[in-house]
Chains A and B, each alone.
Chain A
Amino acid sequence: MNMIKVNRLKCAYCGACIGVCRFDANELIETWVEINDKCTECMACVRICPVGALEVENEN
Protein backbone atom coordinates (compact mmCIF):
# COMPACT_ATOMS: atom_id res chain seq x y z
CA MET A 1 0.00 0.00 0.00
CA ASN A 2 1.15 3.54 -0.73
CA MET A 3 1.05 6.34 1.81
CA ILE A 4 1.71 10.05 1.82
CA LYS A 5 4.50 10.85 4.26
CA VAL A 6 5.38 14.23 5.69
CA ASN A 7 9.04 15.04 6.03
CA ARG A 8 8.83 17.10 9.19
CA LEU A 9 12.34 18.40 8.73
CA LYS A 10 11.27 20.06 5.48
CA CYS A 11 7.67 21.02 6.30
CA ALA A 12 7.19 24.71 7.13
CA TYR A 13 3.57 24.23 8.27
CA CYS A 14 2.17 26.64 5.70
CA GLY A 15 -1.18 24.92 5.10
CA ALA A 16 -1.06 24.90 1.28
CA CYS A 17 -1.48 21.11 1.19
CA ILE A 18 -4.67 21.38 3.28
CA GLY A 19 -6.20 23.93 0.90
CA VAL A 20 -5.95 21.55 -2.09
CA CYS A 21 -7.20 18.37 -0.43
CA ARG A 22 -10.68 17.50 -1.68
CA PHE A 23 -11.07 14.63 0.73
CA ASP A 24 -10.62 16.39 4.07
CA ALA A 25 -7.80 13.91 4.61
CA ASN A 26 -5.18 16.18 6.11
CA GLU A 27 -4.94 18.78 8.84
CA LEU A 28 -2.41 21.33 10.03
CA ILE A 29 -2.19 21.01 13.79
CA GLU A 30 -0.15 23.96 15.02
CA THR A 31 3.24 22.92 13.65
CA TRP A 32 2.70 19.58 11.99
CA VAL A 33 0.60 18.01 9.26
CA GLU A 34 -1.44 14.88 9.89
CA ILE A 35 -2.88 12.73 7.12
CA ASN A 36 -5.80 10.46 7.94
CA ASP A 37 -7.24 7.36 6.32
CA LYS A 38 -9.59 9.32 4.04
CA CYS A 39 -6.53 9.92 1.86
CA THR A 40 -6.95 8.63 -1.70
CA GLU A 41 -3.35 9.37 -2.73
CA CYS A 42 -4.62 11.83 -5.31
CA MET A 43 -1.24 13.58 -5.09
CA ALA A 44 -2.63 17.14 -5.09
CA CYS A 45 -0.87 17.96 -1.82
CA VAL A 46 2.39 16.42 -3.00
CA ARG A 47 2.33 18.62 -6.09
CA ILE A 48 1.48 21.88 -4.33
CA CYS A 49 3.94 21.67 -1.42
CA PRO A 50 6.34 24.57 -2.06
CA VAL A 51 9.29 22.79 -0.47
CA GLY A 52 8.73 19.14 -1.38
CA ALA A 53 8.00 17.99 2.16
CA LEU A 54 5.41 15.43 1.04
CA GLU A 55 6.37 12.15 -0.54
CA VAL A 56 4.66 8.95 -1.54
CA GLU A 57 6.00 6.01 0.32
CA ASN A 58 5.45 2.38 -0.51
CA GLU A 59 4.51 0.47 2.62
CA ASN A 60 5.32 -2.98 1.30
Chain B
Amino acid sequence: MKTDYDVIVIGAGPGGSMAARKCAEEGLDVLLIEKRQEIGSPVRCAEGVSKKGLQKFVNPQKKWIAAEIRGAKIYSPDGTEIVMSEEMAGSEVGYVLERKIFDRYLARLSARAGAEVLVKTRATGFERENDIMKVKMVHFGEQIDYTAKIIIGADGVESKVGRWAGIDTTLKLSEVESCVQYLLSGIELDPEYCLFYLGNNVAPGGYVWVFPKGEREANVGIGVLGSRVDRRPKEYLDEFIKKSYPGGKPVEMVVGGVPVKGEIETAVSDNVMLVGDAARHTDPITGGGIINAMEAGVYAGEVAGIAVEKGDYSAQTLSLYDEKWKSTIGKTIARNAILKDKFVTFTDDQLNSLAKALEGVKLEDLGVTELIRRIITKNPKLLWDIKDLFLKAR
Protein backbone atom coordinates (compact mmCIF):
# COMPACT_ATOMS: atom_id res chain seq x y z
CA MET B 1 0.00 0.00 0.00
CA LYS B 2 1.22 3.43 -0.94
CA THR B 3 1.87 5.64 2.09
CA ASP B 4 3.60 8.70 0.65
CA TYR B 5 1.79 11.35 -1.38
CA ASP B 6 2.36 14.79 -2.80
CA VAL B 7 -0.93 15.94 -1.31
CA ILE B 8 -3.38 14.57 1.26
CA VAL B 9 -6.82 16.20 1.15
CA ILE B 10 -8.76 15.93 4.41
CA GLY B 11 -12.55 15.90 3.97
CA ALA B 12 -14.54 14.81 0.91
CA GLY B 13 -17.19 17.53 0.65
CA PRO B 14 -17.41 19.62 -2.54
CA GLY B 15 -14.26 21.55 -1.57
CA GLY B 16 -12.10 18.51 -0.90
CA SER B 17 -13.27 16.55 -3.92
CA MET B 18 -12.60 19.44 -6.29
CA ALA B 19 -9.18 20.02 -4.73
CA ALA B 20 -8.27 16.33 -5.09
CA ARG B 21 -9.48 16.27 -8.66
CA LYS B 22 -7.45 19.35 -9.58
CA CYS B 23 -4.34 17.95 -7.89
CA ALA B 24 -4.73 14.72 -9.89
CA GLU B 25 -5.19 16.68 -13.09
CA GLU B 26 -1.99 18.56 -12.29
CA GLY B 27 -0.24 15.20 -12.24
CA LEU B 28 0.19 15.01 -8.46
CA ASP B 29 -0.05 11.92 -6.28
CA VAL B 30 -3.07 12.71 -4.17
CA LEU B 31 -5.07 10.97 -1.45
CA LEU B 32 -8.57 12.13 -0.45
CA ILE B 33 -9.74 10.98 2.98
CA GLU B 34 -13.22 11.18 4.53
CA LYS B 35 -14.05 10.26 8.11
CA ARG B 36 -17.61 9.24 7.34
CA GLN B 37 -18.40 5.89 5.86
CA GLU B 38 -20.63 7.46 3.21
CA ILE B 39 -19.50 10.56 1.36
CA GLY B 40 -22.30 13.16 1.32
CA SER B 41 -24.36 11.66 4.10
CA PRO B 42 -25.88 12.82 6.37
CA VAL B 43 -26.56 15.99 4.41
CA ARG B 44 -25.90 19.35 6.08
CA CYS B 45 -27.36 21.61 3.45
CA ALA B 46 -30.41 23.23 1.85
CA GLU B 47 -28.93 22.21 -1.50
CA GLY B 48 -29.49 25.42 -3.43
CA VAL B 49 -26.91 26.58 -5.99
CA SER B 50 -26.81 29.10 -8.81
CA LYS B 51 -26.71 27.61 -12.29
CA LYS B 52 -23.85 29.76 -13.49
CA GLY B 53 -21.79 28.96 -10.44
CA LEU B 54 -22.27 25.24 -10.82
CA GLN B 55 -21.66 25.17 -14.56
CA LYS B 56 -18.24 26.70 -14.07
CA PHE B 57 -17.14 23.39 -12.57
CA VAL B 58 -19.38 20.51 -13.69
CA ASN B 59 -21.98 19.73 -16.30
CA PRO B 60 -25.38 19.54 -14.62
CA GLN B 61 -26.70 15.97 -14.47
CA LYS B 62 -30.27 14.85 -13.97
CA LYS B 63 -29.35 12.29 -11.35
CA TRP B 64 -28.33 14.90 -8.81
CA ILE B 65 -30.66 17.77 -9.64
CA ALA B 66 -33.91 17.63 -7.68
CA ALA B 67 -35.45 20.82 -9.05
CA GLU B 68 -34.82 23.72 -11.38
CA ILE B 69 -35.71 27.12 -9.95
CA ARG B 70 -36.83 30.29 -11.77
CA GLY B 71 -36.48 32.77 -9.00
CA ALA B 72 -36.77 33.75 -5.38
CA LYS B 73 -39.48 35.42 -3.34
CA ILE B 74 -38.50 37.21 -0.18
CA TYR B 75 -41.05 38.09 2.51
CA SER B 76 -40.58 40.82 5.07
CA PRO B 77 -42.28 40.47 8.48
CA ASP B 78 -45.48 42.22 7.32
CA GLY B 79 -45.68 39.97 4.27
CA THR B 80 -44.36 42.42 1.67
CA GLU B 81 -43.10 40.34 -1.23
CA ILE B 82 -39.99 40.91 -3.32
CA VAL B 83 -39.58 38.75 -6.40
CA MET B 84 -36.19 38.15 -7.92
CA SER B 85 -35.11 36.32 -11.04
CA GLU B 86 -32.82 33.37 -10.66
CA GLU B 87 -29.81 35.24 -12.09
CA MET B 88 -29.88 37.94 -9.46
CA ALA B 89 -30.98 35.96 -6.44
CA GLY B 90 -27.42 34.94 -5.65
CA SER B 91 -25.41 31.90 -4.81
CA GLU B 92 -28.26 29.68 -3.62
CA VAL B 93 -30.91 29.95 -6.34
CA GLY B 94 -30.98 28.06 -9.67
CA TYR B 95 -30.90 24.36 -8.96
CA VAL B 96 -31.84 22.43 -5.86
CA LEU B 97 -29.40 19.53 -5.69
CA GLU B 98 -29.56 16.04 -4.28
CA ARG B 99 -26.34 16.41 -2.34
CA LYS B 100 -26.01 12.81 -1.27
CA ILE B 101 -25.60 11.96 -4.93
CA PHE B 102 -23.84 15.18 -5.93
CA ASP B 103 -21.07 14.90 -3.31
CA ARG B 104 -20.41 11.31 -4.31
CA TYR B 105 -20.34 12.27 -7.95
CA LEU B 106 -17.66 14.88 -7.25
CA ALA B 107 -15.63 12.36 -5.25
CA ARG B 108 -15.92 9.94 -8.14
CA LEU B 109 -14.67 12.58 -10.57
CA SER B 110 -11.59 13.02 -8.41
CA ALA B 111 -11.06 9.25 -8.33
CA ARG B 112 -11.45 9.07 -12.08
CA ALA B 113 -8.86 11.82 -12.49
CA GLY B 114 -6.45 9.64 -10.52
CA ALA B 115 -6.91 10.50 -6.83
CA GLU B 116 -6.87 7.72 -4.22
CA VAL B 117 -9.90 7.81 -1.93
CA LEU B 118 -10.30 6.38 1.58
CA VAL B 119 -13.56 6.55 3.56
CA LYS B 120 -14.05 5.86 7.26
CA THR B 121 -10.65 7.50 7.64
CA ARG B 122 -10.25 10.35 10.09
CA ALA B 123 -7.26 12.64 10.38
CA THR B 124 -6.29 13.16 14.02
CA GLY B 125 -3.27 15.42 13.66
CA PHE B 126 0.01 15.89 11.91
CA GLU B 127 3.70 16.40 12.54
CA ARG B 128 6.19 18.25 10.39
CA GLU B 129 9.58 16.60 9.84
CA ASN B 130 12.05 18.19 7.41
CA ASP B 131 9.33 19.75 5.29
CA ILE B 132 7.41 16.46 5.14
CA MET B 133 4.03 16.20 6.84
CA LYS B 134 3.25 13.04 8.75
CA VAL B 135 -0.52 12.83 8.82
CA LYS B 136 -1.99 10.73 11.61
CA MET B 137 -5.17 8.96 10.66
CA VAL B 138 -7.53 6.37 12.00
CA HIS B 139 -8.73 4.12 9.21
CA PHE B 140 -11.44 1.67 10.11
CA GLY B 141 -10.28 1.67 13.71
CA GLU B 142 -6.63 1.28 12.86
CA GLN B 143 -3.93 3.92 13.31
CA ILE B 144 -2.16 4.69 10.02
CA ASP B 145 0.43 7.40 9.41
CA TYR B 146 0.95 8.58 5.85
CA THR B 147 3.23 11.32 4.62
CA ALA B 148 2.65 14.22 2.23
CA LYS B 149 4.29 17.40 1.09
CA ILE B 150 1.09 19.38 1.31
CA ILE B 151 -2.12 19.01 3.30
CA ILE B 152 -5.36 20.51 2.03
CA GLY B 153 -7.81 20.94 4.91
CA ALA B 154 -11.34 20.71 3.50
CA ASP B 155 -12.78 19.46 6.76
CA GLY B 156 -15.85 21.64 6.97
CA VAL B 157 -17.38 23.66 9.78
CA GLU B 158 -15.77 21.39 12.41
CA SER B 159 -12.31 21.92 10.88
CA LYS B 160 -9.31 20.95 12.98
CA VAL B 161 -6.67 21.20 10.25
CA GLY B 162 -6.56 24.99 10.61
CA ARG B 163 -6.03 24.71 14.35
CA TRP B 164 -3.29 22.13 13.95
CA ALA B 165 -1.58 24.49 11.50
CA GLY B 166 -1.92 27.53 13.77
CA ILE B 167 -4.65 29.25 11.72
CA ASP B 168 -7.39 30.35 14.12
CA THR B 169 -10.75 29.95 12.44
CA THR B 170 -12.84 29.63 15.61
CA LEU B 171 -16.34 30.98 15.07
CA LYS B 172 -17.72 33.46 17.57
CA LEU B 173 -21.43 33.02 18.23
CA SER B 174 -22.05 36.11 16.10
CA GLU B 175 -20.19 34.41 13.24
CA VAL B 176 -22.26 31.26 12.79
CA GLU B 177 -25.87 30.46 11.95
CA SER B 178 -27.45 27.65 13.92
CA CYS B 179 -29.62 25.69 11.47
CA VAL B 180 -32.32 23.04 11.35
CA GLN B 181 -34.20 21.82 8.31
CA TYR B 182 -36.79 19.24 7.36
CA LEU B 183 -37.42 17.74 4.00
CA LEU B 184 -41.19 18.28 4.11
CA SER B 185 -43.35 16.03 2.02
CA GLY B 186 -46.96 16.43 0.95
CA ILE B 187 -47.13 20.23 0.84
CA GLU B 188 -48.63 22.70 -1.64
CA LEU B 189 -46.03 24.92 -3.22
CA ASP B 190 -44.87 26.61 -6.40
CA PRO B 191 -42.06 24.23 -7.39
CA GLU B 192 -40.23 26.94 -9.32
CA TYR B 193 -39.60 29.46 -6.56
CA CYS B 194 -37.33 29.47 -3.54
CA LEU B 195 -38.88 31.36 -0.64
CA PHE B 196 -37.16 33.34 2.10
CA TYR B 197 -38.91 34.68 5.22
CA LEU B 198 -37.34 37.43 7.31
CA GLY B 199 -38.23 38.74 10.74
CA ASN B 200 -37.06 38.88 14.32
CA ASN B 201 -39.87 36.60 15.42
CA VAL B 202 -39.38 34.25 12.48
CA ALA B 203 -35.60 33.81 12.54
CA PRO B 204 -33.53 36.30 14.59
CA GLY B 205 -30.43 37.30 12.59
CA GLY B 206 -31.21 34.81 9.86
CA TYR B 207 -34.10 33.57 7.78
CA VAL B 208 -36.45 30.70 7.06
CA TRP B 209 -36.04 29.11 3.63
CA VAL B 210 -38.25 26.93 1.46
CA PHE B 211 -36.34 25.25 -1.38
CA PRO B 212 -38.58 23.05 -3.55
CA LYS B 213 -37.37 19.56 -4.40
CA GLY B 214 -40.20 18.64 -6.71
CA GLU B 215 -43.95 18.97 -6.97
CA ARG B 216 -44.92 18.45 -3.35
CA GLU B 217 -41.64 18.45 -1.45
CA ALA B 218 -39.25 21.07 -0.17
CA ASN B 219 -36.30 21.67 2.12
CA VAL B 220 -37.86 23.89 4.76
CA GLY B 221 -35.25 25.18 7.15
CA ILE B 222 -34.06 27.94 9.42
CA GLY B 223 -30.85 29.69 10.34
CA VAL B 224 -30.63 31.76 13.52
CA LEU B 225 -27.53 33.81 14.34
CA GLY B 226 -25.66 32.16 17.21
CA SER B 227 -25.51 35.34 19.26
CA ARG B 228 -29.27 35.85 18.86
CA VAL B 229 -30.38 32.36 19.86
CA ASP B 230 -32.93 32.69 22.65
CA ARG B 231 -34.92 29.61 21.76
CA ARG B 232 -33.67 26.63 19.77
CA PRO B 233 -33.87 27.09 15.99
CA LYS B 234 -35.89 23.87 15.95
CA GLU B 235 -38.62 25.54 18.03
CA TYR B 236 -38.78 28.52 15.66
CA LEU B 237 -38.96 26.21 12.68
CA ASP B 238 -41.62 23.95 14.16
CA GLU B 239 -43.71 27.06 14.80
CA PHE B 240 -43.28 28.29 11.23
CA ILE B 241 -44.25 24.92 9.79
CA LYS B 242 -47.30 24.61 12.03
CA LYS B 243 -48.46 27.95 10.68
CA SER B 244 -47.45 27.70 7.01
CA TYR B 245 -47.38 23.98 6.16
CA PRO B 246 -49.58 22.28 8.75
CA GLY B 247 -49.99 19.12 6.65
CA GLY B 248 -46.28 18.72 5.83
CA LYS B 249 -44.60 15.49 6.85
CA PRO B 250 -40.90 15.53 7.63
CA VAL B 251 -39.13 12.68 5.85
CA GLU B 252 -35.62 13.87 6.73
CA MET B 253 -34.04 16.15 9.32
CA VAL B 254 -30.91 18.19 8.70
CA VAL B 255 -28.90 20.00 11.36
CA GLY B 256 -25.88 22.23 10.92
CA GLY B 257 -23.83 25.34 11.51
CA VAL B 258 -23.13 27.80 8.70
CA PRO B 259 -20.08 30.05 9.13
CA VAL B 260 -20.89 33.72 8.45
CA LYS B 261 -17.54 34.99 9.66
CA GLY B 262 -16.40 36.74 6.52
CA GLU B 263 -12.94 36.75 5.03
CA ILE B 264 -10.25 35.19 7.22
CA GLU B 265 -6.80 36.75 7.20
CA THR B 266 -5.05 33.79 5.67
CA ALA B 267 -5.96 30.25 4.70
CA VAL B 268 -2.37 29.01 4.42
CA SER B 269 0.56 28.13 6.61
CA ASP B 270 3.67 26.06 5.85
CA ASN B 271 2.58 22.91 3.94
CA VAL B 272 -1.12 23.60 4.58
CA MET B 273 -4.06 25.18 2.72
CA LEU B 274 -7.67 25.44 3.93
CA VAL B 275 -10.62 25.17 1.57
CA GLY B 276 -14.37 25.80 1.79
CA ASP B 277 -16.16 25.82 5.15
CA ALA B 278 -12.83 25.04 6.85
CA ALA B 279 -11.65 28.45 5.58
CA ARG B 280 -15.07 29.96 6.38
CA HIS B 281 -15.69 30.51 2.67
CA THR B 282 -19.49 30.62 2.96
CA ASP B 283 -21.28 33.77 1.84
CA PRO B 284 -22.28 35.62 5.05
CA ILE B 285 -25.53 36.91 3.52
CA THR B 286 -26.90 33.89 1.67
CA GLY B 287 -25.14 31.16 3.67
CA GLY B 288 -24.27 29.52 0.34
CA GLY B 289 -20.98 27.66 0.47
CA ILE B 290 -21.05 24.87 -2.12
CA ILE B 291 -19.79 26.81 -5.12
CA ASN B 292 -17.27 28.82 -3.10
CA ALA B 293 -15.87 25.58 -1.68
CA MET B 294 -15.56 24.14 -5.19
CA GLU B 295 -13.85 27.24 -6.52
CA ALA B 296 -11.44 27.38 -3.59
CA GLY B 297 -10.72 23.68 -4.10
CA VAL B 298 -9.67 24.28 -7.68
CA TYR B 299 -7.37 27.15 -6.67
CA ALA B 300 -5.78 25.04 -3.94
CA GLY B 301 -5.17 22.24 -6.45
CA GLU B 302 -3.56 24.65 -8.91
CA VAL B 303 -1.28 26.11 -6.25
CA ALA B 304 -0.35 22.63 -4.99
CA GLY B 305 0.75 21.85 -8.56
CA ILE B 306 2.95 24.94 -8.68
CA ALA B 307 4.42 24.29 -5.23
CA VAL B 308 5.31 20.67 -5.99
CA GLU B 309 6.94 21.68 -9.24
CA LYS B 310 9.03 24.27 -7.37
CA GLY B 311 9.70 21.86 -4.53
CA ASP B 312 8.72 24.65 -2.13
CA TYR B 313 5.75 24.22 0.22
CA SER B 314 6.35 27.21 2.44
CA ALA B 315 3.54 29.54 3.47
CA GLN B 316 5.15 32.11 1.22
CA THR B 317 4.74 29.98 -1.90
CA LEU B 318 1.29 28.79 -0.87
CA SER B 319 0.19 32.39 -0.30
CA LEU B 320 -0.52 32.40 -4.03
CA TYR B 321 -3.63 30.46 -2.99
CA ASP B 322 -4.65 33.30 -0.66
CA GLU B 323 -4.20 35.71 -3.55
CA LYS B 324 -6.41 33.61 -5.78
CA TRP B 325 -9.36 33.16 -3.44
CA LYS B 326 -9.18 36.63 -1.96
CA SER B 327 -9.26 38.32 -5.35
CA THR B 328 -12.31 36.27 -6.42
CA ILE B 329 -14.76 34.75 -3.93
CA GLY B 330 -13.11 36.65 -1.08
CA LYS B 331 -14.34 40.00 -2.37
CA THR B 332 -18.01 39.09 -2.07
CA ILE B 333 -17.41 37.29 1.21
CA ALA B 334 -15.78 40.38 2.73
CA ARG B 335 -18.44 42.77 1.46
CA ASN B 336 -21.33 40.56 2.48
CA ALA B 337 -19.88 40.14 5.98
CA ILE B 338 -20.30 43.89 6.45
CA LEU B 339 -23.78 43.77 4.96
CA LYS B 340 -24.68 40.89 7.27
CA ASP B 341 -23.49 42.76 10.36
CA LYS B 342 -25.87 45.54 9.32
CA PHE B 343 -28.74 43.25 8.35
CA VAL B 344 -28.83 41.46 11.69
CA THR B 345 -29.45 44.76 13.52
CA PHE B 346 -32.61 45.60 11.58
CA THR B 347 -35.88 45.76 13.45
CA ASP B 348 -38.99 44.33 11.85
CA ASP B 349 -40.05 47.88 10.91
CA GLN B 350 -36.77 48.46 9.15
CA LEU B 351 -37.04 45.15 7.30
CA ASN B 352 -40.53 46.14 6.21
CA SER B 353 -39.43 49.51 4.92
CA LEU B 354 -36.52 47.85 3.09
CA ALA B 355 -38.99 45.57 1.35
CA LYS B 356 -41.34 48.48 0.64
CA ALA B 357 -38.48 50.32 -1.06
CA LEU B 358 -38.26 47.46 -3.53
CA GLU B 359 -41.89 46.49 -3.81
CA GLY B 360 -43.05 46.58 -7.40
CA VAL B 361 -39.56 47.40 -8.73
CA LYS B 362 -38.77 45.23 -11.71
CA LEU B 363 -35.90 43.28 -10.31
CA GLU B 364 -35.31 41.02 -13.26
CA ASP B 365 -32.24 42.79 -14.56
CA LEU B 366 -30.68 44.09 -11.37
CA GLY B 367 -27.60 42.66 -9.72
CA VAL B 368 -27.25 42.65 -5.95
CA THR B 369 -25.13 45.80 -6.06
CA GLU B 370 -27.76 47.57 -8.12
CA LEU B 371 -30.43 46.36 -5.75
CA ILE B 372 -28.68 47.80 -2.73
CA ARG B 373 -28.22 51.08 -4.64
CA ARG B 374 -31.97 51.25 -5.17
CA ILE B 375 -32.61 50.78 -1.49
CA ILE B 376 -30.12 53.47 -0.61
CA THR B 377 -31.64 55.92 -3.09
CA LYS B 378 -35.17 55.25 -1.88
CA ASN B 379 -34.45 55.06 1.81
CA PRO B 380 -30.97 56.39 2.45
CA LYS B 381 -31.08 56.12 6.22
CA LEU B 382 -31.26 52.35 6.35
CA LEU B 383 -27.96 51.54 4.76
CA TRP B 384 -26.29 54.94 5.12
CA ASP B 385 -23.21 53.86 7.04
CA ILE B 386 -22.36 51.12 4.55
CA LYS B 387 -23.38 52.96 1.39
CA ASP B 388 -19.79 53.41 0.19
CA LEU B 389 -19.52 49.67 -0.27
CA PHE B 390 -22.04 49.89 -3.07
CA LEU B 391 -22.03 53.45 -4.36
CA LYS B 392 -18.33 53.63 -5.10
CA ALA B 393 -17.47 52.72 -8.64
CA ARG B 394 -16.57 49.05 -8.56
- Whether the Cβ atoms of B255 and A14 lie closer than 8 Å is yes
Q: Would A48 and B122 be within 8 Å (CB), given that A15-B256, A19-B176, A20-B173 are in contact? A: no
Q: Which residues on the B side are within 8 Å of A18 (C-beta)? A: 157-158, 160
Instruction: Please tell me if the beta carbons of B259 and A48 are within 8 angstroms of each other in the complex.
Output: no
**Interface bin, chain A:** 20 to 34
A50 touches B36 (CB 8 A): no
B289 within 8 A of A: no
Contacts of A48 in B (CB 8 A): 173, 176, 178, 226, 229, 257
Whether a CB of chain A sits under 8 angstroms from the CB of B253 is yes
Residues of A within 8 A of B255 (CB): 12, 14, 16, 50-51
Q: How far is the CA of A18 from the CA of B158 in the complex (A)?
A: 5
Contact B158 A15 (CB under 8 A): yes
Chain B 238-289 residues near chain A, CB threshold 8 A: 253-257, 259
19 CB contacts below 8 A, A to B, read A12-B255, A13-B42, A14-B157, A16-B157, A16-B179, A16-B256, A19-B170, A20-B173, A20-B176, A22-B170, A27-B158, A27-B160, A30-B35, A47-B229, A48-B257, A50-B232, A50-B233, A52-B232, A52-B234
B171 located at the interface, meaning its Cβ lies under 8 Å from any Cβ of chain A in the complex = yes
Is A19 touching B171 in the complex (CB atoms < 8 A)? yes
Q: Is the CB of A19 within 8 A of B234?
A: no
B362 within 8 A of A: no
A4 to chain B, nearest CB (A): 16
A12, A28, A29, A44: the one contacting B173 at CB < 8 Å is A44
Bound together, the chains give a CA A49 to CA B233 distance in angstroms of 9
- Judged by a CB distance under 8 angstroms, whether B128 is at the interface is no
A24 interface hit (Cβ, 8 Å): yes
Given contacts A29-B122, A47-B226, whether A15 and B257 have CB atoms under 8 Å apart is yes
Which residues of A are at the interface with B, using a C-beta cutoff of 8 A?
Answer: 12-22, 24, 27-30, 44, 47-52
B interface, size bucket: 20 to 34
Contacts of A17 in B (CB 8 A): 257
Q: How far is the CB of A55 from chain B (nearest CB, A)?
A: 12
* Contact between chains at A16 and B176 (CB < 8 Å): yes
Chain B residue at minimum C-beta to C-beta distance from A43:
B173
5 additional A-B residue pairs with CB within 8 Å, beyond A12-B253, A16-B255, A50-B257:
A14-B157, A14-B256, A16-B256, A20-B172, A48-B178
List chain A residues, Cβ under 8 A from B172.
20
Given that A14-B257, A52-B232 are known contacts, is A19 also in contact with B180, CB under 8 Å in the complex? no
CA distance A14 to B172 in the complex (A): 17
User: Which B residues between 1 and 47 are near A, CB-CB below 8 angstroms?
Assistant: 35-37, 42, 44
CB distance from B75 to the nearest CB of A (A): 22
Q: Tell me which residues across on chain B come within 8 A of A14, comparing CB atoms.
A: 44, 157, 255-257
Once the chains bind, are A49 and B178 in contact (CB under 8 Å)?
A: yes
A28→B179 CA distance, assembly (Å): 17
By a CB distance below 8 angstroms, the chain A residues around B159 are 19
Q: Closest CB-CB distance, B391 to chain A, in whole Å?
A: 34
When distances are taken between beta carbons in the complex, the residues of chain B under 8 Å from A15 are: 44, 156-158, 256-257
Q: Knowing A16-B257, A20-B171 are in contact, say whether A51-B37 is a contact too (CB < 8 A).
A: no
- Complex: how many Å from CA A20 to CA B232? 16
In the complex, A27→B257 CA distance in Å?
15
Smallest CB-CB A-B distances: 3 pairs: A16-B257, A15-B158, A18-B158
The answer to whether B170 touches A50, judged by C-beta atoms less than 8 angstroms apart, is no
Q: How far is the CB of B39 from chain A (nearest CB, A)?
A: 13
Give the distance in Å from the alpha carbon of A19 to the alpha carbon of B226 in the complex. Answer: 12
